[in-house]
Structure 1
């Protein structure tokens, strides 16, 4: 069912490891060629294109691209009490963690009359995407919205695919989560077309849309499939993005003391997202590897989405990787740069401190990725496809920008004037120095 890669006795560099470790065959680069026409159509034809793509990809032509306020209120009123309680608890925990992420302004006084200040300013408007294809994710609404709210963003819009069995509106639980969070600008738009709508805006073509359906945003965030990730890559520069959060990944570094049932269950928990989801076990224990493989067979046949899980586990993006020892395994998972990394070893907390490339790290037997998906308080919108080598997970920092404020008086400028002139002349930019000299003529 799942492939094996044996790295024992192989002294590979980090670069070489990247090439031998499993990844999905359909990458973001491939998908960009497929989504480019979608982005262009939405940019030029607005709501008409959005409805056409909804009919093509989601099987329904929405009457309302922007969700009516009454539909949001009704969704919350109809929400099962236990689900509402769970969403409220998730919101509370995520808000508590993200409120601590707010960066602090600072002031540095370099000399009398010479001051540099830095303040953090939220972007004006953001577009937040919540997937709704193979599964629906009210939890992603929470992760996106709470982070933006705690950053102080004044304008928030959410998009999620229209559902045929919900009258062309997004899934009812998505709508309920938006209502719980006080978000009233919600769109029944999915996939790459939602990213395009956020990046370029969209004009309405029916009375209920109004003259402008959706104004452009400054930042687009949220997880999605490889096509959403490709669309975000193509609009980067027109808008900011969080990261190319494509099909989910889990890597587990485990030694012989790990429980094979826990490990197998955690691999399956992420494999059920998508046939392209990656599930990777890295272990020095041949015995654990064999036991996990056996448990995967049993658990896959018993789980609800068994076909999807089986495709994910059998795909080229998933594998059991044998290593010489835990130290070797640490090198491997760092080279892999997983979206989610579980460490189920002796001294797991100490090992976690040494990891440099992972979207989020889950330490010990009682910190499964599922905890982070819903209730840990951390954010589950994380970089995939190796982007964890240079990108962070979603957070308050995703929605703010640093503005530097420089204030010198006459005496403070005079103190450094000759040095500014010297550097400006050396760079053959004499007018820079002359701009300083002009203040002392």
Structure 2
């Protein structure tokens, strides 16, 4: 099938291998529906406890959510637009930045995070369903894992269903929960996980940023870069604000914390029905992570069948979900930000300053290890601002970075935005490299 045939076939689905052309059958409505649906996730209200600024007016927490959502969704939209323009998945897009073999490094990170997120989603689905129906959790883990894996076998068909039907059911359920929660008194919040406005914003930034390496897996099928940017940034950004704020309001109204946000929503009249709708919709996040793990692996071996990979990934995520500890959730969010926020800055600057048609994503894309330096510098800046934490044996990692903070006289409670500092450092170091490359190219001509 030629590329033009792939564009014209309305019912075409994603190619089975990386060697086949992707059909370009999705428009702005599909992109808005997909990313809006992906943003309507029970993970966000559950994570709301980490963004609450205790003892501060509720409006300050909401402002931090909005700021974090705007920053994260704009970054996500820029990467999504690049994927639509180049018609390649996310990890293949990075070949133009780092070269084919060097792109295997972020691919490895992405495989780990995709499996982690798929596991998180299955856990949240099973936990919520077991609470609503007062039943053991493990059957829901198995059911969610099987359904998410089945959805990953025909991804574009699922995207069309999500965009046209599922998103509306989710919006009705969320709207109903808002009406009920806002009918309750909203006393000041005295407990929460954020130590400053910017640490709260960092948690919110981490959610759209976690999708950065995956965005092009879907927007390569969108017909234009403008539609991809608008659909992704607006769809996911608005949904992020709506779901985080819902979680904060539930905490204020019912005095819950952590996963108990789900219990708070169940206290709403007919809340069980609304939560069950959201549990059903939650499957799209698990499906997306299973599918993107498979597509990411194809960056290393292009001829692997994504269906076989999806079954293997779905099985692994389901097994992990049976024993998963949700207490590791917050550190995982910060780690995602530390790795992918600086990489996003490097990619966005390099891509959008590179002349159109010059981004090389082929199998022969030459290595460009120079771009590893700003990425690494941004990661280091993030750690020095806010060291990521790992429970148990991993605490030595945190202690080492805390010692480096002390060496440099950085206050551990500085309250700065680690995401913005890491992003700024990465962008500042990428700019001269890109501009020098453009200057050398002009001289060579």
Asked whether the two chains share a fold, i.e. TM above 0.5, the reply is no
From the two aligned structures, give the one with the greater strand fraction: 1
TM range (shorter): under 0.3
Per the normalisation by structure 2, the TM-score is: 0.25
**Structure with more helix by fraction:** 2
Select the structure with the greater relative contact order (CA < 8 A; seq sep ≥ 6): 2
Alignment TM-score, normalising by the size of structure 1: 0.25
